[in-house]
A and B are shown apart, each in its own frame.
Chain A
Amino acid sequence: GQNIDQPTEMTATEGAIVQINCTYQTSGFNGLFWYQQHAGEAPTFLSYNVLDGLEEKGRFSSFLSRSKGYSYLLLKELQMKDSASYLCVKYSSASKIIFGSGTRLSIRP
């Protein structure tokens, strides 16, 4: 199938590091997006991985292993405003973009 699996909820402490994992079916894979979505708002783009390895962008990094069908989003120096849902999204083609159900991240002081 085209399922994307990511944890439903995670909790972390302000200032700490958290890693959100995502696994997906490898067939038809052409890219992996991560989006952030605050409650009641639209998703906003965080990162896009096409090749294996780590992409770093400020406090956020995203990793991809195409052979394993695995990605993670790493958030460092957590801030309260990072409390949000994080969506793992597999891109196969313009007509085949599959969204995970999202990981709701709660940051505690």
Chain B
Amino acid sequence: DVKVTQSSRYLVKRTGEKVFLECVQDMDHENMFWYRQDPGLGLRLIYFSYDVKMKEKGDIPEGYSVSREKKERFSLILESASTNQTSMYLCASTQGNEKLLFGSGTQLSVL
């Protein structure tokens, strides 16, 4: 079964901590995405990567950075976590215009 794997299902961090969210896909997809989802706001794109070491800012990149050193892995970094970054984080991957495949999500709470 092809899949997108996110390293943690639930995560609790303190304000100011550096947080790493990892995502791995086994489908050799070129495109990988990080979204956050908040009630009433839908999915919002944080960052998108279309190849190794290539990235584009999405709609809400402030307070986040990303890393894609290998094709299968796309990491989201919160340099200094804040309470307004408490959210569900979803990683996805796709090839061309094929369907997006999502990881199971990480519910991050920043206290």
Contact = CB atoms under 8 A, between A and B. Distances in A.
A99 B99 contact: no
Given A94-B50, A95-B56, A101-B41, A31 B102 contact: no
A79 to B, nearest CB: 23
B99 A95 contact: no
B43 A99 contact: yes
Contacts of B100: 33, 35, 43, 45, 89, 97
B48 interface: yes
Contacts, number: 48
Interface string A19-61: 0000000000011010100001111110010000000000000
B41 A42 contact: no
A93 to B, nearest CB: 8
Nearest to A101: B42
Question: What secondary structure prevails in chain B residues at the interface with A?
Answer: strand
B42 A42 contact: no
A45 B101 CA distance: 7
A33 B48 contact: no
A95 B104 contact: no
Contacts of B42: 87, 99-102
Interface in A53-101: 87, 89, 91, 94-95, 97, 99-101
B94 A45 contact: no
B40 A94 contact: no
Given A100-B42, A101-B40, A42 B103 contact: yes
Contacts of B33: 97
A45 B97 contact: no
A95 B51 CA distance: 12
25 contacts: A30-B97, A31-B97, A33-B100, A40-B107, A42-B90, A42-B102, A42-B103, A42-B105, A43-B43, A43-B90, A43-B102, A44-B102, A45-B99, A45-B101, A48-B99, A87-B43, A94-B30, A94-B31, A94-B48, A94-B50, A94-B97, A95-B50, A97-B45, A99-B42, A99-B43
